[in-house]
A and B are shown apart, each in its own frame.
Chain A
Amino acid sequence: MTVTEDAPVSELVAPAPSTPASSPSGLVAVLSSGDHKLVGRLWIVAALAQLLLVLGASLYVAAMRLDLAGLTKLTDSPSDWFSQIVTYRAIGGTFLVLLPITIGLATVIVPLQVGASTIAFPRAAAAAVWGYLVGSGLVIGAYSIDGGPFGTSLDGVRLFVAGLGLVVVSELLAWICIMTTVVTLRAPGMTLARTPLFSWSVLIAGAVWLLTLPVLVAMLVITYVFVRYLGEDSASIYARISWVFGPPAVYAFALPVLGFIATVVPVLSATRHHLHRFARTAIAAVGALVIGGWALPSFVGASTPWLYQLPWVAVSFLILIPVLALVGLWAVTLRNGQVTLASPLLFAASALLMLLVGLLAGAVQAIEPIKTLVDGPATSLYGTSWTTAVASYVLLSLAIALLGGITFWAPKLIGRGLREGAARGVAALLLVGTVLWSFPDLVSGLLGQGGDIPGPVAENVTAIEGLNAVSLAGGLFLALGFLGFLGLVVQAIRGHEGVGDDPWSGHTLEWATSSPPPAGNFPSLPEITSEAPLYDARHQEASAQ
């Protein structure tokens, strides 16, 4: 039989564009979304929840220091849970609360600031937040079964090391996503030189963490091997990782503080940032100086040559130069504009003040001839509660800046603004709390009180206990401030009134979209010819009229 008909032609037809699947909602959306706004909010909410635990631990430690003699019983007991809580305060405060809030805020705001429709590697960003949640659950679980540093449960100690490793790796992954967004997803016209200063500071901070945190991960891997196979004592864990919370490594936490202040000051002065390019360089200089785990005195043995200590002294002093330069730039910016004393500016001022005190105190402790004021053999200030106070000042300045950031960007985060008057009150409470919490530790460090793990002291006991009481009062102020802030956020979320797309008359692109931003972030973008495109557009309109 002859086939006369043509064979049917199979065509490769491109499917007609169809409507996207309906957007998921509820738990399914939370579990499956790669939207940077939702992922960032998850970071922030989870970290704020953990803040309550860290706050409780901090107040407990502060209360225990009221009776210095009684600490002997606690730290000498076989299950040294007091030291465990001290370590949880430091590790939880940095890796479970402050870094995650920084990452969360950056995850939401950076893509908006650079005019991107998404974060780079959105699913990796989602994996990072879930990894953090699982890892932090393991860390808390480990502490609850007598694990963690100074723990006696071997399983708990191993679980702690593994869980903290997962947390740190997740945070590294998140930083990679954020940095890649700044580097590769900037809108047309936004050169690296025109990148908003918050995004720039986050890029620098990410670079610092990218160079620093892998060292910590390696330390954790080594610790796991030592604990599991060589039967190492759990007390050594904290000694291995506590360099992250000490100067100069702790200054890396300050980078987003500088970025936040540099964003808020020109907006609330209704003028351009004075010498934007110079500010960018100064922030980069701070970043370059804080990549200095190698400059830590705790890495240095007694027999090492003097040159090993030179970087430590140099970093402690040099870091003040770019920060003071930035202070000068902000002062000029404020003078050039019309200042609105809104709550974000109060948060910014408080954070800056605390950061400056912290950096100055850090420089003082690097001066070798300054010793503790004790009758016995005087020691260097490094390692006393002076060092703890330096870290407290820097970390609390970050906490204040982050809460200020949430207040400033609340319209983009939750679609509503926080109550202005109450937010100002919170800023004041946090400032007073930080001063009362940290300053007594500077003085008691001079009087000989120990640093990381507080313990009994030989001299000046009454004076130190009195200072510790003031510190506890500061802790209560801080707790009141943090709880008040959480209340403000909850109140704003439950409220119904929108705040508008650009309540602060912002300068950068995040204010060019709706509050909260839609999927894809921007229906259209303004022309970008400077670091403040919305400020330009506003002034062009005004001059045209």
Chain B
Amino acid sequence: MFTTGSKTFLGIGAFSLFLAALYGWTTGGTGLGPVTAGYNGGVGDHLGYTLLVSFGLLGIFLGLVAVATRDAESNALAELAGMETAPAEAVPAGRAFEPAVGAFGAGLILLGLVVSNVMFVVGLFLLLAVLIEWMVRDWSDRATGDPAANRMIRNRFMAPLEIPIVGILIVGGAVGAFSRLLLTSSVLGAVAVAMGLGAVILLVGILFASRPTLSPNLIAGVLVIMAIGVGVAGVGAASRGERVTEAPNESTNEDTGTGNKAFIPPGTNKSTTTTVPEGEG
């Protein structure tokens, strides 16, 4: 009846309770207090007594769990379940990015605690997304005995959500990063950046189109590097802020005849500068 694990835990539990009683009596416990949890007398030092009793009860609880589960021995469990042989183990988990992304999310949350609220919120959303993905993947992994069918079930459930969200994030991120890059450059620089990036995209597209035998991994790698490059450049540009722009003066407006005329009181400096606060551009 008493398995190895149960004997260990029950032994620890009993020893802790014995120590608790001893401790209680040697720290001022009176009468039967230390063995009756204070019902018939004092227990002595409360903190140490409580810790030792908690430890003892925990050991006894774990010992009883070990008895009930037969130390989780596979043969005993099979017998308990009325099966002839021990049940097969779960298959090793397949490919899943959730753990790595989740850890990254946790890192963002901690970094956000220190650096910025935006980072904290992004990390929180990332962790929430990982939680949902993880739960669905674990559910689908056990749907049937066939991994391919399980993948299909998972994709049928999640793809209608994932594809639009990921699409919005990619397009929104790219547009956002491009806009930051263009807004931080000088007027002429922005034109150069737009033309340069457009040319790079065109050249990469031509390269991919002219070499249909290129490895998909290579293509994916190049695209990922480009995306990371644009993202990093966007973040860098955002942290640098937008360029300082010259406010158009009266004569310019009159010359072009477009836009609203800015009212500048006579006698004041006509050349003023305006800046857009960071994050509101």
Contacts and interface: CB of A to CB of B under 8 A. Distances in A.
Interface of A: 14-21, 24, 26, 28-29, 31-35, 116-118, 122-124, 126-127, 129-131, 133-135, 137-138, 155, 158-159, 162-163, 165-166, 170, 183-193, 284, 288, 294, 305, 307, 519-520
B93 A122 contact: yes
A192 B97 contact: no
B12 interface: yes
B22 to A, nearest CB: 10
Contact of A166 (B8, B15, B93, B110): B110
22 contacts: A15-B144, A15-B149, A18-B146, A21-B148, A34-B94, A35-B92, A118-B92, A126-B96, A127-B103, A130-B102, A130-B103, A130-B104, A133-B103, A134-B104, A138-B107, A159-B114, A162-B110, A163-B110, A187-B74, A192-B71, A288-B12, A294-B51
B144 A126 contact: no
Contacts of B144: 14-15
Contact of B71 (A16, A118, A191): A191
Given A185-B89, A191-B4, A21 B95 contact: yes
Nearest to A155: B114
Contacts of A130: 99-100, 102-104
Q: Give the interface centre of B8, B96, B99 by most chain A CB atoms within 10 Å.
A: B99
Contacts of B97: 31-32
A126 B100 contact: yes
A18 B151 CA distance: 11
Nearest to A118: B92
Interface string B62-99: 00000000011111000000000110011111111111
Contacts of B134: 123
Contacts of B113: 158, 162
Given A123-B134, A126-B100, A188 B93 contact: no
Contacts of B26: 307
A190 B95 CA distance: 30
Given A134-B104, A137-B107, A21 B72 contact: no
B5 A34 contact: no
A124 B151 CA distance: 20
B3 interface: yes
- A contact face: mostly helix, strand, loop, or mixed: helix
A294 B75 CA distance: 40
Contacts of A123: 93, 96, 98-99, 134, 138
Given A130-B100, A284-B8, A138 B92 contact: no
Given A130-B103, A155-B114, A117 B73 contact: no
B103 A18 contact: no
Question: Closest 9 CB pairs between A and B?
Answer: A130-B103, A127-B99, A134-B107, A34-B93, A18-B148, A126-B99, A162-B110, A118-B92, A15-B149
A116 B90 CA distance: 10
A357 B136 CA distance: 53
Q: Give the interface centre of A14, A118, A123 by most chain B CB atoms within 10 Å.
A: A123
Contacts of B106: 131, 134, 166
Interface residues of B, number: 51
A303 B102 CA distance: 47
A134 B103 contact: yes
Contact of B72 (A19, A124, A126, A184): A184
Nearest to B6: A192
B20 to A, nearest CB: 13
A288 B55 CA distance: 12
Contacts of A189: 75
Contact of B100 (A31, A184, A191): A31
A185 B103 CA distance: 26
Contacts of A15: 144, 146, 148-149, 152
A307 B25 CA distance: 11
B111 interface: yes
B51 to A, nearest CB: 7
B147 interface: yes
A140 B209 CA distance: 44
Nearest to B12: A288
B117 interface: no
Nearest to B77: A184
A190 B107 CA distance: 40
A222 to B, nearest CB: 15
Contacts of A122: 92-93
Nearest to B113: A162
A525 to B, nearest CB: 11
Contacts of A137: 107
A32 B74 contact: no
B95 A33 contact: yes
Contacts of B217: 26
A118 B97 CA distance: 18
A115 to B, nearest CB: 10
A65 to B, nearest CB: 33
Interface string B1-19: 0011100100010010000
A519 to B, nearest CB: 6
Contact of A135 (B27, B73, B107): B107
B72 to A, nearest CB: 4
Nearest to A520: B92
A32 B100 contact: yes
A107 to B, nearest CB: 13
Nearest to B110: A162
Nearest to B146: A17
Given A29-B95, A130-B100, A186-B74, 8 more contacts: A15-B148, A32-B95, A32-B96, A127-B102, A130-B99, A158-B114, A159-B110, A284-B8
Given A118-B89, A127-B99, A159-B110, A21 B151 contact: yes
Contacts of B102: 127, 130-131
A188 B71 contact: no
A118 B93 contact: yes
B164 interface: no
B106 to A, nearest CB: 6
A20 B95 contact: no
A189 B89 CA distance: 14
Nearest to A291: B55
A18 B115 CA distance: 48
A15 to B, nearest CB: 4
A390 B85 CA distance: 50
B54 to A, nearest CB: 11
Nearest to A131: B103
A29 B217 CA distance: 13
Nearest to A31: B100
A192 B73 contact: yes
B21 to A, nearest CB: 14
